[in-house]
Amino acid sequence: MTKKSLLQKAVAAPHVMWAVLFIIAPLLFVVYYAFTDKDGNFTFDNIAELAQASYLEIFLRSLCFAFLATVICLIIAYPIAYFMTKASPKTQKILIMLVMLPQWLNFLIRTYSWMAILEDTGIINGLLTSIGLEPVHMINTSGAVILGMVYNYLPYMIIPLHSVMSKIDNRLLEAASDLGCSNFKVITRVVFPLSMSGIISGVTMVFVPSISTFYISQKLGGGNFDLIGDTIERQFQTAYNYNLGASMSFVLMIIIMISMAVMSKYSGEDDGGVIV
C-alpha cells in the first residue's frame, strides 16, 4: 500500500467537495431539523409525534405499496431480462434502448398519460364500452398507484438484472443441463443464484424510489392513498413544519437502511449489492 500522492488527492478533491456539499450537508440538515423544535432547541417531540396512528398507517401503507411494486417488478423483469440475454448482441442493444425509452419522457407526463388511460372515461374504458362491456373503475384505486410505481421503475429492475445475467458464462448453463437440469431447473439452480447481485441492485433501485414517491399516489390514487412522500411534501410545502417533515425523512431513511440491511443479509456473501 502506498500513500496517496498529492496529485491523487488533488484529483479527488472536487469529488470530496461535491459529496460534502450535496450529500453530507443535506443529511446533517435533515438530522438537525428532525431533532429540534421551532426555536432550535433539542427535542424528541417530532419523532414521538410520528407514533400517532394516522402517521403509522401512512408508513405502513408506503411500505406495503413499495413492497408490492418491487415484487411485481421483479416478477415481470426477471423473464424479460433472461430472454434478452438470449438475443444477439445487436438485438440486445436495441432491446435495452426500448426498455429505457419511456424514461426519456418526463416523469409527470408519463404519470398524466396513465391518468388518461385509466380514467372512468379513459382509453381502456372507452375500448371496453365500445365492444359492449361494462366499464371498470381503475383510477384512484390502490392498484392504480402500484401500477404507476411498477411502470415507472420497471427499467431500473430490468437493466441491472440483464447486466448481471449477460455476464453468466454460457458454459455454466450447458454444464447444468449436461448434469440433468431441465431448462426450468437451469434457471432455478444456476441462473437465479448467480444473478442474485442483480436482484439486490434491482430491488434496491425500485424499492427506494417507490417507498419515497409522492407524485404517483396523488395523481393515480386521487389523494386517497397518502404515502410518506406525500406527507413529507405537505409538511414542507403547505404546513411549513420543517421539523416534522425532517423527522419523517429521517425515519424513512432508517426504514430504507433496515430494508437494505435485511436484503444484503439474505443475499449471503454476495459482493454486487448496491450500497444505499
Partner 1 sequence: MNEKKIIELKDVAKSFDGEIILDHISLDIHEKEFMTLLGPSGCGKTTTLRIIAGFVTPDTGDVVFEGTKINDVPAYKRHVNTVFQKYALFPHLNVYENIAFALRLNKVSEEEIFNRVEEMLAMVNLRGFEKKDVNLLSGGQQQRVAIARALINKPRVLLLDEPLGALDLKLRKDMQNELKNIQRQTGITFIYVTHDQEEALSMSDTVVVMADGKIQQIGSPTDIYNEPENAFVADFIGESNIIDGIMLEDYKAKFSGQIFDCLDKGFLKNEAVDVVIRPEDVDVVAPEKGMLQGVVDSVTFKGVHYEIIVTINNFKWMIQSTDYVAPGQKIGLYIEPDAIHIMKKSEYSGMFGDYSSFSDELESLGDVDALEEEE
Q: Which residues bind partner 1 (CB under 8 A)?
A: 169, 171-172, 174-182, 185, 189-190, 193-194, 196
Instruction: Count the Cβ atoms, other than its own, within 10 Å of residue 132.
Output: 6
> Looking at beta carbons only, is 149 or 190 nearer to partner 1?
190
Residue 253 · residue 237 · CB < 8 Å: no
| Maximum C-alpha span of the chain | 76
**Min separation Cβ 267 and partner 1, Å:** 11
**Min separation Cβ 222 and partner 1, Å:** 46
> Looking at beta carbons only, is 196 or 253 nearer to partner 1?
196
All three cell numbers of 218, joined, read 396523488
- Residue 72, classed as helix, strand or coil, is helix
Q: CA-to-CA distance for 230 and 223, rounded, in angstroms?
A: 9
> Looking at beta carbons only, is 61 or 189 nearer to partner 1?
189
Residue 137 · residue 129 · CB < 8 Å: no
Helix (H) or strand (E) holding 236: helix 228-237
> Looking at beta carbons only, is 175 or 258 nearer to partner 1?
175
> Looking at beta carbons only, is 126 or 193 nearer to partner 1?
193
> Looking at beta carbons only, is 132 or 268 nearer to partner 1?
268
**Min separation Cβ 186 and partner 1, Å:** 8
Q: CA-to-CA distance for 104 and 250, rounded, in angstroms?
A: 31
**Min separation Cβ 201 and partner 1, Å:** 17
Residue whose C-alpha cell reads 472536487 in the numeric block: 14
> Looking at beta carbons only, is 21 or 179 nearer to partner 1?
179
Q: Who's near 119: CB < 8 A, 6+ residues apart?
A: 125, 138, 139
**Min separation Cβ 62 and partner 1, Å:** 34
- Measured CA angle at 139 (ends 133, 144), to 5 deg: 110
Residue whose C-alpha cell reads 419523517 in the numeric block: 248
**Min separation Cβ 164 and partner 1, Å:** 12
Bridge partners (DSSP) listed for residue 42? 36
**Min separation Cβ 175 and partner 1, Å:** 4
